[in-house]
Structure 1
Amino acid sequence: MKQIYIYVMDTLADWEIGYITAELHSRRFFKDNAPEIAIQTVSYTPHSITTMGGLKVTPDCKLDSMIVDENTVLILPGSDTWHQPEHQAVLQYAQQILNANGTVAAICGATLALATSNMLNSRNHTSNGPGFLDMFATNYTGQSFYQDQPVVRDNNLITAGSTDALLWSKAILETLDVFRNDTLALWYTFFNEGNPNTFYDLMETLPSKGH
């Protein structure tokens, strides 16, 4: 079973995790033989946090109850508060997860947090554009590993820029192997282009259609 943790914090960028949380929770496009998954929100605090959109989210668990192994997936959204010291703990867990061959997926400000914690100095990665990490992470030395792409996967690390939540979600879904390949391709095309005919094609790939 894949244990998925979604880190929640004040000023969390709601839209960046919207695609992935909706699909993992609803399982509406999962294939018949999709791996088992469990999803929990996790934080440094047991108290509710307030997202950038004003939503109140009460974490399911605290960091010290996390399972850390090759089946762990940690999703780190963007936020305006990554610089605050209380988030150092989750970054330490992120390193432990990577060391255990688990998966870490970071977007927007979370990539800066990883860079500040020296996790991007020897791994291929992306962020909010060339120069962004240099500007804000003074100890960042991973320039030669930076790729000016919307989303970059380096084995079990997935990084993305602030405007690429859909493609980032696609990469996470692909890693989890919960969609058929044709379902995933059509899912991305539909939400990227909005053509209703693509949605009908997407529905035809689902188990209920007998394929």
Structure 2
Amino acid sequence: MVKVYSYVLDTLADWELGYVTSELNSGRFFKEGDQRLSLRMVSYSKETIHTMGGIAIEPNYLIENIEVSETTVLLLPGAETWSDPKHGAIIEKAKELLQIGGTVCAICGATAALANAGILNDRPHTSNGLGFLEMVSHGYSGQEFYIESPSVVDNNLITASSTGALLWTKQIIEHLGVFQSSTLEFWYDYFSTGDPKYYFALMETLPVNHEN
């Protein structure tokens, strides 16, 4: 089973994880026969964290519990507290996962943490702007690999800006292969445009006995 770990930390940007955790946890649009994923909240301790929106989350896994394998997916959300040294352990875990073929998905402030660790120096990526990374990540020298896009896929690394949560989610789902391609396209079209025709097109891609 694919294990998806979502790192949680104080001031976590709620909206950046909303689409991806909802779809991966519910499995409501998964293609027929696809098993639901194991989604786990992980942190540096099991103390309750509070998101930017004031939601309290109790992590159920510690960083050392993360299974390092090719099928592991690590979600790193934005937050205003990434500069705290206690988050260094999860960045080291991200390095391990990338090296062995696991998947790391970082958005907003989490991309700055990866950049500061030198992870983005030699592979395509994006963030909240090149100037943002240069300002907050002293270990960053990957300017030639920076791409101006809401979200960028480079094999097993998926990075996004603070405004790229929807495209980031689409790319993560596509990487995991849990939606039919037509389902994913209509899902993205509906949530990016709000046009109801895409909602009905989305529903038509699902099995007849599908329960939403």
TM-score, length-scaled by structure 2 = 0.96
Name the stretch that deviates more: 157-166 or 33-42.
33-42
1:9-158 matches, cutoff 5 A: 9-158=9-158
Q: 1:60 to 1:208 in 2, by over 3 A?
A: farther
Task: Indicate conservation of the 8 Å contact 2:133/2:140, yes or no.
Answer: yes
Quote the Cα distance in structure 1 between the aligned partners of 2:182 and 2:209.
14
Give the CA deviation at 1:198: 1.1
CA contact (8 A) 2:186 2:201 kept: yes
Of 200-209 and 10-19, the range deviating more from structure 2: 200-209
**2:198 is equivalent to residue 198 of structure 1:** yes
Residue pair 2:111, 2:160 contacting (<8 A) in 1 also: yes
Q: Does 1:168 align with 2:168?
A: yes
Q: Is the 8 A contact 1:35 1:177 kept in 2?
A: no
Partners of 2:87 and 2:139 in 1: how far apart? 18
Unpaired segments of 5 or more residues in structure 2?
A: none
**C-alpha displacement at 1:130, in angstroms?**
2.5
Deviates more, 1:123-132 or 1:181-190: 123-132
Q: Which moved more, 1:36-45 or 1:119-128?
A: 36-45
Alignment check: 8 A CA contact 2:7 2:76 kept: yes
- Identity score, percent: 51
> Which moved further from structure 2: 19-28 or 30-39?
30-39
Code of the aligned partner of 1:16: E
Point out where structure 1 has 5 or more consecutive residues left out of the alignment: none
With over 3 angstroms needed to count, the CA separation of the structure-2 counterparts of 1:28 and 1:36, relative to structure 1, is closer
- Structure 1 position 209, deviation (Å): 6.1
Q: 2:192, 2:45 → 1: CA distance?
A: 35
SS at match of 2:158: strand
Equivalent positions of 1:176-195 (< 5 A) are 176-195=176-195
Measure the CA separation in 2 of the matches of 1:49 and 1:185: 34
How does the TM-score come out when normalised to structure 1?
Answer: 0.97
- Residue 207 of structure 1: CA displacement? 1.6
Residues of 2 paired with 1:182 and 1:170: CA distance? 12
After the TM superposition, which of the residue ranges 123-132 and 80-89 deviates more from structure 2?
123-132
Please give the root-mean-square deviation of Cα atoms over the aligned residues, in Å.
1.1
For residues 35 and 100 of structure 2, the distance between their equivalents in structure 1, rounded to whole angstroms, comes to 19
CA contact (8 A) 1:72 1:102 kept: yes
User: 1:102-143 CA distances to partner (integer Å, 9 max, x unpaired)?
Assistant: 000000000000000110011110000121111111221111
Aligned to 1:207, the other structure's residue is in SS state coil
Q: Distance in 2 between matches of 1:122 and 1:33?
A: 38
| Equivalenced residues, count | 210
CA–CA distance in 1 between the matches of 2:2 and 2:100? 14
Distance 1:139 1:83 in 2: 13
Q: Give the conservation status (yes or no) of the 8 Å contact 2:11–2:79.
A: yes
Q: Is the 8 A contact 1:2 1:35 kept in 2?
A: no
